[in-house]
Structure 1
Amino acid sequence: MVVPELRPWQAARPQVERIANAVRPRLARAGAAARPRVARLARALRPRTPRLPRPGAVRTWQYTAGAATAGLALAAGVVTAAGPWDANGQRTAERDRAVALEQPGGADHGRSGTTAGTARPAPSAAPVLVGLDGPVAAVDTKKAAPDGKPLSDVLKPLLGAPALGGTRAAAVVDVATGKRLYDTDADEALTPASTTKIATAVAALSALGPDHRFTTRAAIEGDTGELVLVGGGDPTLTARGRSDGWASLRDLAAHTAQALHRRGIRKVTLSYDTTLYSGPQLHPIGVNDNLAPVSPLIADEGRTDGSSSGPAPRVSDPAKDAASKFAAFLKDAGITTTPPGPSKAGTRAQTLATVASPPLSDIVERMLTNSDNDIAEALARQTALTSGQPGSFAGGAKAIAARLTKLGLPMSGASFHDGSGLDRDDRLTAGLLTGLLVTAGDPARPGLRPVLTGLPVAGFTGTLADRYTDSAAGVVRAKTGTLTGVNTLAGTVVDADGRLLAFAFMASGTTDPLAAESALDKAATALASCGCR
């Protein structure tokens, strides 16, 4: 949403007020015990505010990011007042530093297509889970909730609903303490569907760092004069109008044409290089509207209907399609080209122009909010390349597992076959999913925070925009997962005491997806209404 006549925080205010209104009754129920936590959060956030966000494109849902990270949905109002997030949900100082670094990435031919080096933490992501007057006391799971029932008594009948099929698993963990509060077969590995993207996000951020950018470049061969469009694995590259911050093929063509004009060149042989990735482009599910053939050179995810998210018909050859659009833009700029064909840029090819993606933190948030399969598979490959694995489905799966193992996560029974969760052979446990969320909230790992800020907000954004029209709207943030016979939900929730809980609910053998979604939503809503200490 672009609101040129308003400053971003002014445009976002109505959305934030809606969320604040949704969670205000919860604060009242929490009573005096929760109010000091809000006050401490406000004090913790205010000094970390570098400045108010810049005008520009506004994605208002991001203003609730602080709520999920800190464990208090009411903090959305505090965040608005303090203004620590820009229009893309990233702390302004973090974005400024990422821009200043101008990290190129996208290197090719024997290199990973990513910036070398180990992941660095986001420099200004505040450790908002600490500094709230010391450690939080351990939780007693046997103590009664406000309605007089222990947590297990609240969740067990809801997760036993017939709509959830014959196999279920669940886990609930206090993010601040890491203590598991509820467990039903939490170590049983089940098909996770799109909740796999949480694992992909953690692995990619760990491997590359939140400031990393992917670069698409145009290079010219000195001996032949051939112009090569080199794919750097940017899954957000666009060929449409204004890019709103995403790398634009139109911009790349304009800069390339300028460089060619300076050389006195008006006609070139055009080719494109996709050698960054290896292995099959087509996912095991085959041709499918949920995912384009995976290529390091792709524009607008190969969509043919003008959409930006969700299922859509895709082009069969994304690289050729992108190169053809690039050729059309060059023609508009006065450069005539031959019909593009596949090639490989030589090591001595000279780069004429580049365009870089937004920071990985932004890309991860977009992936999680929209459940974007194309981004997920690209990030799996980039994780593989950075980890010394081939840029393929198999390489990505192996690299994700290795990264999570290195982070000390519970990997027993886990099995990865892709980065998106479209492969029915993927297996994760509820314990691993909650472990990923707790790790993303670890104050010592601020670079993983986009995993929390990117989760859809109940009743407001992404795949949860049309769910949770009740009192849990704005309080639950979760990644959905749906395949035939599989329904999952994993994310965070602010309970009646203002605590941030991580949860994972998994169900297999479901027959009515809408009924299964409703059952999962009721469980998350009950968790939000429960006091768990």
Structure 2
Amino acid sequence: MPRVRRVRSEVFLTLALLNIFVLIAGFAALDVIEARPLPAVPHPVVNAEGAAAAEPAPSSPADPERIADVIDDPMAQSGLAEGLSAFVVDGATGQALYERSPDTPAVPASTTKIATAITVLDAVGPDHVLTTTAHFDPAQGMVVLRGAGDSTLTTTADSAAYPQVATLEELAERTAAALAEQGVDTVSVGYDDSLFTGPDTGPSWKPGYITEGSTASVHALMHDSGRVSPDTHSRVPDPPRATADAFVKQLKEAGLTVEGGEPSEVLAQGDPIASVDSAPMTALVEHMMLASDNNMAEALARIAALETGGEASFEGGAAATHRVMDSYGITGVDLADNSGLSPENRITPRALVEMLRVAADDPELNAAITGLPTSNSTGTLGNRYTEGTPVHDVAGLIRGKTGTLNDVSALAGTVHDQEGNMFLFAFVANSPGVQGYQLDPLAAALARCGCS
């Protein structure tokens, strides 16, 4: 199938830090594989105490035997036995450098989001925005808030946030201004969450995912990814209703009188009278990757499904991802959801590495790379490779997407060795009791290596 191509606040702050790293380091994430310059580097020097900076270009290709020498010992010491699979390639040539059951399907956990990132960027393009709208029904005197899948929507603006996100405050102000032009100052409020279809929790999801705060139920209308407040993990039981309630408050602060009791769920009719746009898709993808935002992942998969003629559901998002993976010739991907919360997902280590390579090669897909967390610095790797651990010497040098479920840990990303070789890697462990830190020495071995 041909590819379709068109053209909060801690997590977002890390995106700004990545831009600062560019100024410090002065070279791009995957320049050695001739991708266009990226706004983030693979090994920012911040927090990389004791680590020698990699040379910008290798003197000779990496030696697979040398790679095996440096990885085999930490593999044996990991205690993961038969549940560990791995694949490492040369970033410049794609040559396989290390293989351990690379074609064995494994539960990938949140490394699934690499596939989701590529899928939505392929389907809608890097500049696409998600537009939350307000509609007015004169016959009922009702303003209807309609969701478009933007889980970064928030209540009021944070001037320090990067990038700036859409707010209910601005939407309410624009709505009040539009109604004032019509001489309307009193309304009732409804909300429309109809864009997404099907179940609002994924296949084999544990009920605890929501109560523990790993995710909210999936909806097209939500703010702060369904959190009770932006700075908590707790999730609201009904994200669309919570967002409608917050919108009512903002409408009142904008000067409107709101009557009619609680907001009601209705279908929006006619053209919007006001709207607010999300940040561009590149920023949404980077946010999803850095924060491992499960609600954003499921929303973006549905946006991709809609763009390609599919259904905005778990099944539709997975089908859209399979189609895009097929279009790039990537096999070994079998998904039930797009966040990685489902233990029914299967991805091979080889497929994870091939995804990284595809994203690095295509400028429109680069956000799947620039969004990778950095060890002891950003995102879900910010609390790994920390001071006092045996791998702190490579803090700041590893960039990778993490994945964690019960008995599942995964890490896939990019690293330079000490001679400037760029490696793309995937380590996946489906082992009882596995913890993420057990994979850290594997990537660290690559960063310490003089592998030519």
Q: Structure 2 length normalisation: TM-score? A: 0.84
Q: Please list, as runs of the form range in 1=range in 2, the aligned pairs for 1:17-96 lying within 5 A after superposition.
A: 65-68=39-42
Shift of residue 13, structure 1, vs aligned partner? 11
CA contact (8 A) 2:301 2:338 kept: yes
Amino acid of the structure 1 residue aligned with 2:288: M
**Is 1:292 aligned with 2:211?**
no
Give the equivalent residue in structure 2 for 1:405.
326
Amino acid of the structure 1 residue aligned with 2:280: P
Q: Please list, as runs of the form range in 1=range in 2, the aligned pairs for 1:319-468 lying within 5 A after superposition.
A: 319-337=240-258, 338=260, 339-346=262-269, 349-409=270-330, 411-412=331-332, 414-442=333-361, 445-468=362-385
For residues 420 and 216 of structure 1, the distance between their equivalents in structure 2, rounded to whole angstroms, comes to 22
Amino acid of the structure 2 residue aligned with 1:152: A
CA contact (8 A) 2:85 2:429 kept: yes
For residues 344 and 139 of structure 1, the distance between their equivalents in structure 2, rounded to whole angstroms, comes to 59
Amino acid of the structure 1 residue aligned with 2:220: P
CA contact (8 A) 2:22 2:39 kept: no
For residues 13 and 437 of structure 1, the distance between their equivalents in structure 2, rounded to whole angstroms, comes to 18
**Is 1:495 aligned with 2:412?**
no
Give the equivalent residue in structure 2 for 1:258.
177
Taking only the aligned residue pairs, the percentage that are identical comes to 39
CA contact (8 A) 2:62 2:421 kept: no
**Is 1:221 aligned with 2:172?**
no
Shift of residue 156, structure 1, vs aligned partner? 1.9
For residues 377 and 321 of structure 1, the distance between their equivalents in structure 2, rounded to whole angstroms, comes to 19
The one of 209, 217, 221 aligned to 2:125? 209
**Is 1:474 aligned with 2:396?**
yes
Q: Please list, as runs of the form range in 1=range in 2, the aligned pairs for 1:258-277 lying within 5 A after superposition.
A: 258-277=177-196
CA contact (8 A) 1:165 1:508 kept: no
For residues 268 and 136 of structure 1, the distance between their equivalents in structure 2, rounded to whole angstroms, comes to 70
Shift of residue 67, structure 1, vs aligned partner? 2.0
Any idea what the Cα deviations from partners look like across 1:455-479, whole Å, max 9, x if unmatched? 1111111111121132211211011
Distance 1:291 1:393, change over 3 A: same
Shift of residue 269, structure 1, vs aligned partner? 2.4
CA contact (8 A) 1:493 1:528 kept: yes
Distance 1:13 1:248, change over 3 A: closer
The one of 146, 158, 162 aligned to 1:242? 158
CA contact (8 A) 1:487 1:510 kept: no
CA contact (8 A) 1:189 1:427 kept: yes
Q: Please list, as runs of the form range in 1=range in 2, the aligned pairs for 1:103-142 lying within 5 A after superposition.
A: 139-142=62-65
Distance 1:240 1:528, change over 3 A: same
Distance 1:215 1:194, change over 3 A: same
The one of 427, 431, 447 aligned to 1:505? 427
Shift of residue 506, structure 1, vs aligned partner? 0.6
Tell me, which stretches of 5 or more residues in structure 1 are unaligned? 3-7, 24-36, 50-63, 77-131, 143-149
Amino acid of the structure 1 residue aligned with 2:416: V
Distance 1:395 1:300, change over 3 A: same
Distance 1:296 1:13, change over 3 A: closer
For residues 323 and 480 of structure 1, the distance between their equivalents in structure 2, rounded to whole angstroms, comes to 33
Amino acid of the structure 1 residue aligned with 2:226: G
Any idea what the Cα deviations from partners look like across 1:126-163, whole Å, max 9, x if unmatched? xxxxxx99x99765424xxxxxxx21121122123353
What is the root-mean-square deviation of aligned Cα atoms in Å? Answer: 3.2
For residues 267 and 140 of structure 1, the distance between their equivalents in structure 2, rounded to whole angstroms, comes to 73
SS of equivalent residue, structure 1 residue 441: helix
Shift of residue 246, structure 1, vs aligned partner? 0.4
Amino acid of the structure 2 residue aligned with 1:447: E
For residues 231 and 17 of structure 1, the distance between their equivalents in structure 2, rounded to whole angstroms, comes to 35
Q: Please list, as runs of the form range in 1=range in 2, the aligned pairs for 1:186-201 lying within 5 A after superposition.
A: 186-201=102-117
Amino acid of the structure 2 residue aligned with 1:487: S
SS of equivalent residue, structure 1 residue 163: coil
Any idea what the Cα deviations from partners look like across 1:416-440, whole Å, max 9, x if unmatched? 0111101011000000000011111
For residues 348 and 59 of structure 2, the distance between their equivalents in structure 1, rounded to whole angstroms, comes to 27
Amino acid of the structure 2 residue aligned with 1:521: D
CA contact (8 A) 1:221 1:350 kept: no
Distance 1:367 1:282, change over 3 A: same
Give the equivalent residue in structure 2 for 1:52.
none
Give the equivalent residue in structure 1 for 2:4.
none
Amino acid of the structure 2 residue aligned with 1:459: N
SS of equivalent residue, structure 2 residue 316: helix
Amino acid of the structure 1 residue aligned with 2:224: D
For residues 18 and 247 of structure 2, the distance between their equivalents in structure 1, rounded to whole angstroms, comes to 39
Distance 1:395 1:498, change over 3 A: same
Any idea what the Cα deviations from partners look like across 1:63-113, whole Å, max 9, x if unmatched? x94422xxx75799xxxxxxxxxxxxxxxxxxxxxxxxxxxxxxxxxxxxx
For residues 176 and 75 of structure 1, the distance between their equivalents in structure 2, rounded to whole angstroms, comes to 25
Number of aligned residue pairs: 415
SS of equivalent residue, structure 1 residue 301: helix
Shift of residue 401, structure 1, vs aligned partner? 1.1
For residues 155 and 520 of structure 1, the distance between their equivalents in structure 2, rounded to whole angstroms, comes to 11
Give the equivalent residue in structure 1 for 2:51.
none
For residues 286 and 354 of structure 1, the distance between their equivalents in structure 2, rounded to whole angstroms, comes to 34
For residues 17 and 325 of structure 1, the distance between their equivalents in structure 2, rounded to whole angstroms, comes to 38
Tell me: higher relative CO, structure 1 or 2? Use CA pairs within 8 A at least 6 residues apart: 2
Shift of residue 173, structure 1, vs aligned partner? 1.1
Tell me, which stretches of 5 or more residues in structure 2 are unaligned? 1-7, 48-55, 387-391
CA contact (8 A) 2:107 2:430 kept: yes
SS of equivalent residue, structure 1 residue 247: coil
For residues 328 and 164 of structure 1, the distance between their equivalents in structure 2, rounded to whole angstroms, comes to 52
CA contact (8 A) 1:215 1:232 kept: yes
CA contact (8 A) 1:73 1:494 kept: no
Give the equivalent residue in structure 1 for 2:437.
518
SS of equivalent residue, structure 2 residue 69: helix
Give the equivalent residue in structure 1 for 2:389.
none
CA contact (8 A) 1:163 1:511 kept: no
Shift of residue 267, structure 1, vs aligned partner? 1.2
For residues 430 and 421 of structure 1, the distance between their equivalents in structure 2, rounded to whole angstroms, comes to 15
SS of equivalent residue, structure 1 residue 171: strand
